[in-house]
Each structure stands twice: as C-alpha cells, then as structure tokens.
Structure 1
Amino acid sequence: MGGATATMTGTGGKPRSDVSALTGLVGVAGLLVWIAICRSWPHIASSLDIPGPRERMVGPSAALMGLVFASGPMVLWSVLVEKVHRNPTTGIDWSLKHRRKRDRSVTWTKIGALWITWAIIAALYCLGRWYWTDNYAFALDVLATAIAPMVALSVPYVMWLDRVMIEPRDHSWHFGAMLMGQLGWDPEQVKKHWRAWIIKGFFGAFMLSIVPGGFAHVVNADVMTIAGNPVALGVMTIELLFLIDVQIGTVGYLVTMRPLDAHIRSGNPFVAGWVAALVCYPPFVWGIIGNGLVFNYEQNTRDWGYWFSGHETLLWVWAGWLVVLTGIYAWATVAFGIRFSNLTYRGVITNGPYAFTRHPAYLSKNLFWWCSVLPFLVTSGSYVEMIRNSFFLLLVNGIYFWRAKTEEAHLLLEDARYREYHAWMGRHGLITAPLERLYRAVLPQPAPASEPIG
C-alpha cells in the first residue's frame, strides 16, 4: 500500500509525505458530522417539519451516504488546499487543452477497453457464488445501480482527460489496442491494466459489502447507558474506529482518479504478494484464518470481558489498550486520505503512524488479536487447545509478516524515494529500527519476494 510520493525534507532526513495528515482528518470530520446527523435525525426532522419517519437513520443507504460525507471534504481539501491536480505525478499538463488536437481514436479505444473490462469483472461476479449471499449481495446491488451512470460518465470523463494527459496511451489504451488489433500495444502495460482492475474489482466489492456493518450500532449507541461499563464502552468505541477505517478505506478504492493524483500507478507484480493478501480476505479467509478450517485460533475461547470479569480496574485498562490498538489501525488508514488500497503503489506515506513503523496497521491488528481473543485461555481448560490456538495465531502473524515483506518488495522496486524512506526507518524508526536489528540478527537476508505475475 502507498500514498503520495515523498520528497526529502533535508539531507539524511525522513522523507516528507505529499499527503498531509489533515487530508484524512477532514474526511473523518465529515463522517462524524454525518453520524451526528443520523443520530439526531428525529429532532432535526421534527424541528424542520421534514416529512417521513422520526427515527435515527441506520440503514444501508445512510451508511453509503457516509462515504459522500467522508470523501467530499477530502477531495475538496486535496484540490483547493493541497492542489494535488498540479502534481507532476498525475501525468497531466493542464496547458495541453489549449493546444492539443483531439484524437478520437485513442479516446474511443480507451472507452471501449473500460467497458469491456467492466463487463469481464461483472461476469466474474456472476461466477463467484459468494457474491450472491449476505453482505456481498448488498455490494452487488450498489454496483449494479452504479454501472449505468459509470458507463455514461466515462465518455465525457475520458474525452476531457485525454486533452490534458501527457501520454493518453495509458494502460487502458494498451488493453483496448490489443483487443482491436491496433499496432503499438505493450503486453506489460496490459498486465498493469489488469492488475489494477482486479484489485479494484476484488477489494472494492469487499469494502462496499462491509460498509453497513457496525453503522447501525454506532448510530443507535446509548452513550449515557454504557458510559460506566468498560466492556460496553470499549466495544462501542472500537466499533466506531473500525467504522472510520472502513469508510475512509472504501473511499480510497472509489476515488482512484488521475486528476486527484490518486490513481493506481502499479499493482503488485509479485505472486507471493497476491497470495499473502488474498488469504486475508473472503472467500479465502473463511476457510483459513480465524474461525476457518485451517488456522483456527479461537477454539473454546471467550473474549477479554469474560476472563477479566469482576476486576473493574483491569477491565478499564484492557478496554483502553484495545481502543489504542484499534485507533492506531484506523489512523493507519486515515493517513492515506483518498489513496488507500491493497496491493498497489500510489506513492509513499511517511507521516502519522508511518513515522514510527512501516506497517502500523499490521502490527496493531495482530497485537489486537492476541489481546482481545487471548488464545492461550480456553474454557475447556485443555493445555493442548491453548497451544493449538497460540500456534495458529502465530501462523497468522507470519502471514502478515510475509504480506508486509511482499509489499515492501513492490514499493522498493517502484520508487527510489520509497527506498529512502525504507532505509531511514531501518535506522531511525522508533519501532522499525529495533525490530529491523532483531530481524537481521535472527534471520538471513531474504531473497526477492517471487517472480512477477505473468
């Protein structure tokens, strides 16, 4: 995963992120405003005499609207304050619109490639049985509703963009040229096109499927009632933080636009990177991690509230610790602003939690599992089960370590400025530096992650 490309703050200094810390924060502020509106809707509707039910807005449509309230401020901030549309990394020269002639053949080749790509992704959705059940069915409903506007808007959007792109023959053009038998297409560019769109199709549907989850709980939460209960208050706060993570993360998949400098510059080319990432998501995760059939680390376990019941002080401390871990996890997503996505290079993030460790999300997530599940405590009292649970959670930790290394291999391959950040963190990162020394002392230097896909 990556954010904006970095520039050096000075000789030997930590690279500076082009995505400011405020970008994600204004998105969080917009989302919190929408949550407040949803919670206060009965009073708002009554005061303004708005027709309709006088109830809190908790449905899937309200959850989707949260994406608008989160993305709108981030886009406006990025354009009006950070002026990202002027970044050289966009590949855009806005002055070209006054002196370049329209090349309809390039434009229609790209539009045709986009439409065929979407049709293929739709066919894959139809073949995947899991997409027609539970939350995924909701995601497909959203995508089915959006496809007609996407097709219609793609025409003026591509025509407009082609007038100002320095090189209009991008990944989409190469795929379209291949299909239409035109000369000059590059197989490597076609692979890049499909890596990017498989990532969007796979993870975009997943993120949309989980957008409604937890939204109703947060909007309906009775804060006054649970304020004195460390377990209930801790769980509600954690749900709010996960909600922020999901909403900001989903925006990252939806707003991959070149004028915002948020386009996918490359998808991870390593087979190992794809395997390490995909096993962490449905449908693969259902049979592998957590309560799956392979790495089940929750057999005969109970949550932390059960084990610490009756110890009020410990409950408060543990709830606070889990909230901190979840907060770091959400912060790691918020730091990307509109550029979050898996398996992609979209530049480099060096601020927020990435100033302390290269992989704050993975580190906090894995610590959260140990501290919330407590796999070494089981209701059966079986030492064998304790060892099994702990062993399998260690294997899950290993998957995330593997995943982190494949992501690093991708970014190291793409950008010299990421290599500067990587090296700086290895020497000076508060968490990364000591872990790096330990890793190098215990394990030999790793070989390249794998051969590129294709």
Structure 2
Amino acid sequence: MNVHRDIAPSAGAAHADPRPPSAVSSGVGFAGLFGLLTAIVVGRMTGANGPVSSMLAVIACGLPMVLWTVFVDRAWKNESTGLDWSRSLKSHDETREISIAKLAGLWATWAIIAAIYCIARYYWDGQYLFAMRMLAWSAPVLFFVSIPYIFWIDRRLREPKDGAYMLGAWLMGERAGIDREKLVGHFRSWAVKGFFTAFMISIVPGNWFEVLSWTNAQITSDPVAMSRFLIGFLFLVDVAFATVGYVLTLRPLDAHIRSANPYAQGWVAALICYPPFILMSPGGPLDYSQNTADWSYWLQGAPAVMLGIYGGVLVLLTAIYSWATVAFGIRFSNLTHRGILTHGPYRWTRHPAYVSKNLFWWLATLPFIVTSGNPVDMIRNTVILGLVSGVYYWRAKTEERHLMADSAYRDYFDWMERNAPVPRLFAWATGRQSKPGEMVPTG
C-alpha cells in the first residue's frame, strides 16, 4: 500500500522500531476540523441552527479535507487507488462496454437501496425524514454525475471490472466471467453505505442544534454546563466527520472501500449498537440505566473544582473518542477497510473510540449507584453495562479479524504489541506474551 508517512516513533525506540506509516496524514483531519469550526462560529453568529445549515457545516468540514487530500497529500497518486497515471487515458472504445455495464450495476444498487428505504417505513419517521429528503434531493444529481465519472475513471483504472460491473454485466445477460467474490463484496460495501449514511445524516441536525442553541452565558455559567457544551460539541465533530466519511468513498481520493467485513459476527456486533437493531436503548435488553442518574446529580453541592475535574475527565474521554474519528479524515466507516491508521490516538491503542466511549459510560452513568437505593438495580445495571462493554470488545475482535487479511494491519498490530501503552498494559495484566501476528485480548 502506497501511504503517507506520518511517523512519530515512541520515545527510546525512534530508530530501532519505527511506527508503521499511516494511510492518512494528520493534516487531513486538522483541515476538516478548521472548516467545521468556521461553520460553527458562523452558525452561532447568524443563528443558522436548522437542518439544512447542519448539512452546509458537513460540507464545510469535508471540502477542506478533499482539497488537502488532493493538493497536499496528493492521494490520487497512491498505488492503492488502482488508478494508472503512467500513461495516457485508455480509449473510449476500450472501456465503453465496461462503463455501461458498471453504470447499470451502480444504478441497480441505488434502486435496491431506495426500495429498502421505501419498504422499511422506519426510515419515514422522526429524524430519518430529513435524511430521506436529503437523499431524494441528491439522487438526480448523483445519477447524472455518475455518467461522466464512471466513463472517466474506467479509462484510468488498471482493473475496471469491479463489483458494480459484475452486477451490471449479470443484469445484462452475461453469465460467464462473473466474479462472485467481487459481486458479494460490492453488496457488502453498499449495505454499509446504505445503512450508515442515512443514519448519520439523520443525527447531524440534532447535534448541530444542540451546539448552536447554547448561549455564551449558559456555557460559562458553571463547570457542569461547560462540560455538557463541550461534550455536545465533540459529538458534533464526530458525527460531521463520520458523515463525510460515508459519503466520500471515492477512488481518486484513495478513500474507496477496499473490503467490507465478511464475517457475520462482525455485522451482528456492530448493528446491535445502532437503531433499529440497538439493544442498549431505554427498555432494551441491554439498558443499563434503570433508576440511574447523571453524574452531576450525585455531585450536587460539590465544590466547583471537583465538578470541573470530573466533568473535565468526561470531556477528555469524549475528545479522544472524537479524535479517533477525526484521525480518519475522509475515510471513517464502520465495518470496512479503507486503509490502516497508525497515527493520532491509534498509536496508543488499536481501539481508542471503544475504550474511551466505554470509560465515559461507566463514569457518566455510575451504574452501581441508583436513585431507588435497590441493590438489585445496582447489580443489574453494573452487570448489563459490563455486557455492553463486552459487545464493544467483541466488535473490536471481529474488526481485527477482518483487517488481519492486510499485511499492513499485521505490521501495525505487531508494532502496537511491542510499543503501545494499552496493549502492553493488557499483556502485563494477563501475563501473556504475544507472537508476531497473533491476536490477543488487548486494547
């Protein structure tokens, strides 16, 4: 994989054991963060806190990252894009039939996703209504833009016969030469995009409104309020970057999906964390909040310094969680491989988002303390939250199983076992030494 070198070796091992290169440079995330912060400042000044404004903020986040990727990182030159810039474009005669079949497969895929949206009425209720309107508005644009895009990119691709082509060729009556593995991979990748893109678009407006609705006086009124605002802000950063990631799966940006998780366990572990399959929602089987109260409830009357410290810890955990998404730049996506990250928080643990998210839940919920005073509730909540943490451990292991197919991830995995603090802490705690490429229960 031809990737950007963004190496910052650990102390004392800078030359002996350098960290493997990261597929994404740090600058991409900073560029997106600058664009999003600018949008937030403008939004707060103008009072533009509506759902359409939230989508403009997502564009403000994504556009600087695209420009950085193209003009600074020059990712379009990466070998991993599959594009050949060493010679002139192939002729239209050489790729025309391939492009026509690919367009047929791509449009058929979009039609299937649209049909699922229409049939599953879940998508036509609540916050999903806005997502459906946005997708319906963008559909004609995508339809017409896809024509010149596909005809152009097929003339540059070394192997233009991808999964979309296989589907289109099959629909057009071809049976010989259909690569079933590419076809299945195509459906997996678009299942991820279809499910998560709609979800992300649906939750951005709420997070945008939450951040813009705070007045300066409210934010600075007390440590608890400040903590809540900063946590809301960091969640907005997370969902904005994630939305950009699901949209921009483009080869010229080297942000395409290399593969989607082929293991059923991985899909189950991920989907039960998101609606409509979520198990952690109120009343769900993994609801750990029976008769619990927010952390500020239990610290009422505490000195402002204590409130500030406790809230600051929660903000820090949320910042790590958000940073783990920002580090992806334009490549964030669940259940997919889009390049191996080794920079940012991924130099300390392979799963910074899961570690920080679960620590946040334990500290913010305090499941072992309940307003009812009932020990049954205390035990139940603690056990259930432990199971939730177990689900995220399960997700991490299924993701690693998927990524282990790439030698770049195996190199990163081995380096982390030797150098990163969290994996080494787990190894010390369990008394187990890992062998190169061996998967062990580490962070």
* Secondary structure of residue in 2 paired with 1:296: coil
Q: Deviations over 1:314-347 (max 9, x none)?
A: 2111110000000000000000000000000111
Q: Match for 2:234 among 214, 237, 241? A: 241
The residue number in structure 2 matching 1:38 is 43
Report the alpha carbon displacement of residue 440 of structure 1 after superposing the two structures with TM.
6.7
Alpha-carbon distance between aligned partners in 2 of 1:128 and 1:390, rounded to the nearest angstrom: 35
- Whichever residue aligns with residue 249 of structure 2, its letter is T
What is the aligned residue count?
A: 429
Identity of aligned residues (%): 47
The residue number in structure 2 matching 1:198 is 191
- The reply on whether 1:250 has 2:275 as its aligned counterpart is no
Q: Match for 1:304 among 295, 298, 305? A: 295
- The reply on whether 1:65 has 2:56 as its aligned counterpart is yes
- The reply on whether 1:315 has 2:307 as its aligned counterpart is yes
Alpha-carbon distance between aligned partners in 1 of 2:225 and 2:196, rounded to the nearest angstrom: 31
Q: Match for 2:340 among 345, 348, 356? A: 348
Q: Is the 8 A contact 1:94 1:164 kept in 2?
A: yes
Alpha-carbon distance between aligned partners in 1 of 2:433 and 2:23, rounded to the nearest angstrom: 35
Q: Is the 8 A contact 1:332 1:360 kept in 2?
A: yes
Q: Match for 1:224 among 217, 228, 235? A: 217
Alpha-carbon distance between aligned partners in 2 of 1:366 and 1:30, rounded to the nearest angstrom: 29
Alpha-carbon distance between aligned partners in 2 of 1:195 and 1:362, rounded to the nearest angstrom: 23
* Secondary structure of residue in 2 paired with 1:284: coil
Matches within 5 A, 1:160-171: 160-171=152-163
Aligned CA distance change for structure 1 residues 93 and 440 (closer, same or farther; 3 Å): farther
Report the alpha carbon displacement of residue 441 of structure 1 after superposing the two structures with TM.
4.5
Alpha-carbon distance between aligned partners in 2 of 1:173 and 1:374, rounded to the nearest angstrom: 52
The residue number in structure 2 matching 1:141 is 133
Runs of 4+ in 1 over 3 A off after TM superposition: 2-12, 95-102, 436-443, 446-449
Q: Is the 8 A contact 1:199 1:343 kept in 2?
A: yes
Q: Match for 1:23 among 15, 18, 28? A: 28
Q: Is the 8 A contact 2:4 2:25 kept in 1?
A: no
- The reply on whether 1:78 has 2:83 as its aligned counterpart is no
The residue number in structure 2 matching 1:377 is 369
Report the alpha carbon displacement of residue 95 of structure 1 after superposing the two structures with TM.
4.1
Matches within 5 A, 1:254-403: 254-285=247-278, 288-312=279-303, 313-403=305-395
TM-score normalised according to structure 1 size: 0.90
Matches within 5 A, 1:411-422: 411-413=403-405, 415-422=406-413
TM-score normalised according to structure 2 size: 0.93
Aligned CA distance change for structure 1 residues 385 and 36 (closer, same or farther; 3 Å): same
- Whichever residue aligns with residue 420 of structure 1, its letter is D
* Secondary structure of residue in 2 paired with 1:17: coil
Q: Is the 8 A contact 1:113 1:175 kept in 2?
A: yes
Report the alpha carbon displacement of residue 13 of structure 1 after superposing the two structures with TM.
2.1
Matches within 5 A, 1:396-435: 396-413=388-405, 415-435=406-426
Q: Deviations over 1:81-136 (max 9, x none)?
A: 00000000000012444454432110000000011000001111112221111111
Q: Is the 8 A contact 1:290 1:298 kept in 2?
A: no
Alpha-carbon distance between aligned partners in 1 of 2:135 and 2:87, rounded to the nearest angstrom: 34
Report the alpha carbon displacement of residue 145 of structure 1 after superposing the two structures with TM.
0.7
Q: Is the 8 A contact 1:6 1:349 kept in 2?
A: no
- Whichever residue aligns with residue 406 of structure 1, its letter is T
* Secondary structure of residue in 2 paired with 1:200: helix
* Secondary structure of residue in 2 paired with 1:212: helix
CA RMSD of aligned residues (A): 2.2
- Whichever residue aligns with residue 239 of structure 2, its letter is V
Report the alpha carbon displacement of residue 12 of structure 1 after superposing the two structures with TM.
3.5
Give unpaired runs (5+ residues) of structure 2. Answer: 10-14
Q: Is the 8 A contact 1:174 1:189 kept in 2?
A: yes
Report the alpha carbon displacement of residue 290 of structure 1 after superposing the two structures with TM.
4.0
Aligned CA distance change for structure 1 residues 150 and 227 (closer, same or farther; 3 Å): same
- Whichever residue aligns with residue 207 of structure 2, its letter is G
Alpha-carbon distance between aligned partners in 2 of 1:314 and 1:7, rounded to the nearest angstrom: 38
Aligned CA distance change for structure 1 residues 177 and 197 (closer, same or farther; 3 Å): same
- Whichever residue aligns with residue 403 of structure 1, its letter is R
Report the alpha carbon displacement of residue 292 of structure 1 after superposing the two structures with TM.
3.6
Aligned CA distance change for structure 1 residues 334 and 96 (closer, same or farther; 3 Å): same
Instruction: Name which structure has the greater RCO, CA cutoff 8 Å, separation 6+.
Output: 1
Alpha-carbon distance between aligned partners in 1 of 2:366 and 2:118, rounded to the nearest angstrom: 39
Alpha-carbon distance between aligned partners in 2 of 1:381 and 1:366, rounded to the nearest angstrom: 24
- Whichever residue aligns with residue 329 of structure 2, its letter is G
Q: Is the 8 A contact 1:3 1:339 kept in 2?
A: no
Alpha-carbon distance between aligned partners in 2 of 1:4 and 1:391, rounded to the nearest angstrom: 43
Q: Is the 8 A contact 1:207 1:250 kept in 2?
A: yes
Q: Is the 8 A contact 2:90 2:155 kept in 1?
A: no
Q: Is the 8 A contact 2:189 2:257 kept in 1?
A: yes
Alpha-carbon distance between aligned partners in 2 of 1:396 and 1:387, rounded to the nearest angstrom: 14
Alpha-carbon distance between aligned partners in 2 of 1:26 and 1:36, rounded to the nearest angstrom: 16
Aligned CA distance change for structure 1 residues 381 and 442 (closer, same or farther; 3 Å): farther
Q: Is the 8 A contact 1:268 1:344 kept in 2?
A: yes
